[in-house]
Amino acid sequence: MGDDNHRYVQFERTANSKYEVRNVRGGSISVGSGADTDFTPVELLLAAIGTCSAIDVDIVTSRRAEPTEFRATVSGDKLRDTEQGNRLENLAVEFTIHFPEGEDGDKAREALPRAVKMSHDRLCTVSRTVELGTPVTTTLFD
């Protein structure tokens, strides 16, 4: 696959409503319907939105100071809509990020709001894709 812009994962069914997802680097994750501890597809979407922004923010701020705390909660309300189909609304990423006292920590704190805004407005591919409403095609192969 010579295209550096093309991204994909593959998955295989391991049991009823349970799948093993693999990436091109050999990583894997179990995904299920929520009947056990496996992540559901909706939870993975929330995780993708949050961690995509977290990576952007971490890269910018960690150049100035290593955070003493870096966590987030990503949430949304699931709607079951008979007209438009099931979806999430009210998506929110809430960061809690702290840096040590001192000049480097001050620099990181100063950069933090701009890094969060840049990630949301421009850098995070996942949240930008969701917000722009990119169409998804589905194909069935024999």
Q: pLDDT per residue over 43-90, tens digit each?
A: 999 999 999 999 999 999 999 999 999 999 999 999 999 999 999 999
**In DSSP terms, which residues pair with 10 in a beta bridge?**
22
CATH class of 41-132: alpha beta
3 state DSSP class of 25? coil
pLDDT computed for residue 2 by the predictor: 57
Going by pLDDT thresholds of 50, 70 and 90, the confidence category of residue 4 is confident
Average pLDDT over residues 88-110: 98
Q: How far apart are CA 130 and CA 47, in angstroms?
A: 13
Rg value, the chain, Cα: 18
- The string of DSSP letters for 55-90 reads HHHHHHHHTT---SEEEEEEEEEEE--TTT-SEEEE
pLDDT computed for residue 116 by the predictor: 98
pLDDT computed for residue 96 by the predictor: 98
Q: How far apart are CA 43 and CA 39, in angstroms?
A: 6
Per-domain boundaries in the chain: 1-39, 41-132
Question: Is the predicted pLDDT of residue 1 greater than 50, yes or no?
Answer: no
